[in-house]
Amino acid sequence: MKMHLGSIIILCFLLCSLTFTASQTSIDTPTMQSLKSHLNLTKDIDWSNPNPCKWPTVQCDGSNRVTRIQLKTKRIRGTLPPNLQTLTELTVLELFENQISGPIPDLSGLTRLQTLNLHDNLFDSVPKNLFSGLTSLQEAYLENNPFSPWEIPETLKEATSLQNLSLTSCNVTGTLPDFFSSQTLPSLTRLELSQNLLQGGLPASLGSSSLQELHLNGQKLNGSVSVLQNMTSLVEVDLQGNAFSGPIPDLSGLQSLRIFNVRDNQLTGVVPPSLIGLKTLTTVNLTNNNLQGPTPQFEKSVGVDILTTNTNSFCLGTPGTPCDPRVSTLLSVAESLGYPVKLATSWKGNDPCASWIGITCAGSNVTVVNLGRQGLTGSISPSFAKITSLETINLSNNNLSGIIPNELTTLPKLKMLDVSNNDIYGDVPKFEAGVKVVTTGNRNIGKPKPLAPGASPGGDGGSSKGTSKAKIIGPVVGVVAALCLVGLGVCLYAKRRARRPAKVQSPNNHMVIHPHHSGDGDAIKLTIAASSVGGGGGTESSSSHAGNTDIHVVESGNLVISIQVLRNVTNNFSEENILGRGGFGTVYKARGVEYLHTLAHQSFIHRDLKPSNILLDDDMRAKVSDFGLVRLAPEGKYSIETRVAGTFGYLAPEYAVTGRVTTKVDIFSLGVILMELITGRKALDVSQPEDSVHLVTWFRRVAASKDKDKDAFKNAIDPNINLDEETLASVQKVWELAGHCCAREPYQRPDMGHVVNVLSSLTVQWKPSEADPDDLYGIDYDMPLPQAVKKWQASEGLSQTIDDSGSSSSAYGSRDNTQTSIPIRPSGFAASFTSVDGR
């Protein structure tokens, strides 16, 4: 069949038309139309053309594939469609500063995507596989979106071309992942994660990263910042507003560093010269830390924010002025301990003899360093040898490792070195004959340095999988079996002795423990009975179930304590702390109020310290009792409001007036007890003249005139105290301490740790001389308690009987006037306090 020329021309025209039309159509059109339908575009954006490649803010390549979508700062509302991942040639997606909401869709197919900029929108969730397959991604900006809490995904490791990552104010939680090394993310130079909810420490992989900018301010991050010393490419670092602690590391390798912001943390130690001397530094912010040593002096060209008043612990306020040599030496000691925060908050100023925790002086000479039971880690510093006036070093009951430095043997006045109950190893150096060295409780003392876990002599510590499993499974099975046996024993014993008081065979059979049945088979509790045991004490609001021993509940009538606390206060149930064994179990001694206030992870407030609640054992060691009014100090709060309870005469004024209670309430009570000890007077004594009824008021009046009238001071001291020169000096120290403890304002009172340090330095002087135990106080320790009490009463001229039920009667009818009684409210004493009465 022959075709006419005209027909051929028409056919060619149609074919050309079809080809032209096809070239004007993009295979991305359905996805782009879906995007258009999901967004509420403003009138100035015309996406009416059927070909998306003709749309403004959209760009395509030569094949009509969409490569760029840039709808930025247009106030666009709506959501994103779930099929954006079909735009496989997309390189730039910029939708920032709009009002787009809903989830960010799956983008895992966009292997050519280089820029993802969605910041300042209203997106509410992130796909779990975000960053998956985005091997070309160079920049990701998601900041300022109200995402539901999410964690940085593992798929971030697949974005191997990533240079900038900004997730500020994105509700990111969890910890920083440990894959920021240059091997994993070789191109990453800027990491912006500020104002999120991250916690934990800085991962080690940051030290081998290529980061130039690190912004982590406003988080819950903590731990050391030592990894910074290896980040040699850093130009800017912002760690403001976290809980980082420890010293600023050597930064001499950061030769490009310009901005260094670590304000509002808990950093300690001396500001390193390597930071001060950086030539590139333009801005440094160190305010609100616990930094020590001399105030650093930077170059004039450096913008410095380093407020020294009440924000750091520098020895002097003038930049560049060196500290007192005693301060420098003690800071060197603290350096070996990692500059603990507890020391940094106390070791302020240029005089270590001015109420530094753990430091006792004779004049201006440091004679005692008492840092026992402070939870310290690190090692013993040879710098102790520079404090030539030292007589006592107490580092017991910590977690110290390393050896005892030989340099300590050169201390000319040293009498006592106590490093017991640590992890010290190696031989004990040879000290002078008069020096007492206590090393008990160090399992490796006298032995070589212990091998690291898993290591073996002459080997690299490696092992087969079978051996590794055996090393793990063996102890686990052992522990589980032990727990099962203990649990079975506790359950059987509880059923047998439920609700029945049991005596403990302590030396005098005086201690009684009242076990309470909790009714919870999975709970393990230690209950210390208050005075109302058996009378329906308060209820507990929680207990320790299997797998959870972090108990911190204190309720009226009982104190519930975690196993870890028991380990802490008894030094892991050390044999040295055993008071007695018997019917109910083993009784251990522990350090009372100081532990409640400072050594525990959370602070407890006793609220009723008084002589009748401080018991003495046969060795005159004090034991705090009656925890019926104990309250837990809320974490992060300085005070709590509660109903006023306690004993008149021992109540702190602010507690009596407002009902607000802090640990300083116990300090006030202890101060009153110290006043009673050295004056022989009662806290409230109605037999005294009206202006002297209240011991604290009278004491302050005498203290105010002490310097002018020394006879009045001596006359105020209990006449039963033999005031030789040495005793008078000791009484003066206790007098001053009692006055500080009873200061009118709570913030003026010392911490319990300081009180312990002051008093412990006097114990050597006060320790009674050895005597025949049978002749001591004329007490026969084999005599039953009731008979011993009768004998004592007879010797004191008292007529009193104790019947079998434990009740007592007295010829005097009342013992309100005895020193050991609880002061009652005097007649005429107001039922409530005013600010004038309280102060």
Continuous segment of H or E residues that includes residue 677: helix 663-679
- Phi/psi for 593 (5° steps) reads -65, -35
Alpha carbon dihedral 692, 695, 699, 701, in 10-degree steps, equals: -30
Low-confidence ranges of the chain (pLDDT < 50): 1-3, 5-23, 456, 458-564, 580-586, 588-591, 593, 595, 598-602, 636-638, 769-779, 781, 796-839
How far is residue 54's CA from residue 816's CA, in Å, rounded to a whole number?
99
**Close Cβ partners of 12 (under 8 Å, ≥ 6 residues apart):** none
How far is residue 765's CA from residue 774's CA, in Å, rounded to a whole number?
24
Say if 187 falls within a structural domain.
Answer: no
Total number of domains in the chain: 3
44: left (phi over 0), alpha (psi -120 to 50) or beta: alpha
| DSSP labels, 123-162 | EEE--TTTTTT-TT--EEE--S--PPSEE--GGGGG-TT-
At 684 the pLDDT is 86
How far is residue 439's CA from residue 416's CA, in Å, rounded to a whole number?
11
How far is residue 330's CA from residue 397's CA, in Å, rounded to a whole number?
20
CATH of the domain at 638: 1.10.510.10
Say if 574 falls within a structural domain.
Answer: no
Confirm if 557 and 544 have CB atoms less than 8 A apart. no
Tokens of 71: 């709808």
How far is residue 294's CA from residue 292's CA, in Å, rounded to a whole number?
7
| DSSP labels, 325-387 | HHHHHHHHHHHHTT--HHHHHH--SS-TTTT-TTEEEETTEEEEEE-TTS--EEE--GGGGG-
Say if 568 falls within a structural domain.
Answer: no
Angle ∠(679,680,683) on CA atoms, nearest 5: 90
Say if 281 falls within a structural domain.
Answer: no
CB crowding 10-21: b at 16 or more within 10 Å, else e: eeeeeeeeeeee
> In sequence order, what E strands does 609-706 have?
614-616, 622-624, 631-632, 640-641, 660-661
In 3D space, the residue among 39, 89, 85 whose CA is nearest the CA of residue 63 turns out to be 89
At 621 the pLDDT is 60
At 833 the pLDDT is 42
At 254 the pLDDT is 95
Tokens of 675: 């006043």
Q: How far is CA 289 from CA 267, 641, 801, in A?
A: 5, 29, 62
How far is residue 219's CA from residue 587's CA, in Å, rounded to a whole number?
44
Q: Which three-class secondary structure state does DSSP give residue 666?
A: helix
274: left (phi over 0), alpha (psi -120 to 50) or beta: alpha
- Residues constituting the chain: 839
Amino acid at 605: I
Say if 641 falls within a structural domain.
Answer: yes
Q: Sign of the CA dihedral 307, 300, 324, 252?
A: positive
How far is residue 474's CA from residue 639's CA, in Å, rounded to a whole number?
47
How far is residue 632's CA from residue 292's CA, in Å, rounded to a whole number?
31
State which of 391, 413, 445 marks the end of a domain.
445
Tokens of 163: 């240079």
Say if 236 falls within a structural domain.
Answer: no
In 3D space, the residue among 484, 568, 481 whose CA is nearest the CA of residue 524 turns out to be 484
Tokens of 470: 């055996």
State which of 173, 189, 214 marks the end of a domain.
173
Confirm if 288 and 266 have CB atoms less than 8 A apart. no
Choosing from 608, 626, 666, 685, the catalytic residue is 608
Q: Which three-class secondary structure state does DSSP give residue 35?
A: helix
Q: Which three-class secondary structure state does DSSP give residue 68?
A: strand
CATH of the domain at 78: 3.80.10.10
pTM greater than the 0.85 cutoff: no
- Quote the domain boundaries for residue 132: 26-173
At 693 the pLDDT is 83
- Phi/psi for 713 (5° steps) reads -65, -45
Beta-carbon count within 10 A of 323 CB? 21
State which of 430, 445, 460 marks the end of a domain.
445
Q: Rg of the Cα trace of the chain?
A: 36
Confirm if 133 and 109 have CB atoms less than 8 A apart. yes
At 517 the pLDDT is 32
Q: Is 774 a catalytic residue?
A: no
For residue range 505-537, list pLDDT tens digits in order.
Answer: 333 333 333 333 333 332 233 333 333 333 333
Please name the residue that has the structure tokens 């007589």.
391
The interaxial angle of helices 725-741 and 663-679, nearest 10 deg, is 150
Say if 33 falls within a structural domain.
Answer: yes
Confirm if 514 and 536 have CB atoms less than 8 A apart. no
At 627 the pLDDT is 58
Say if 690 falls within a structural domain.
Answer: yes
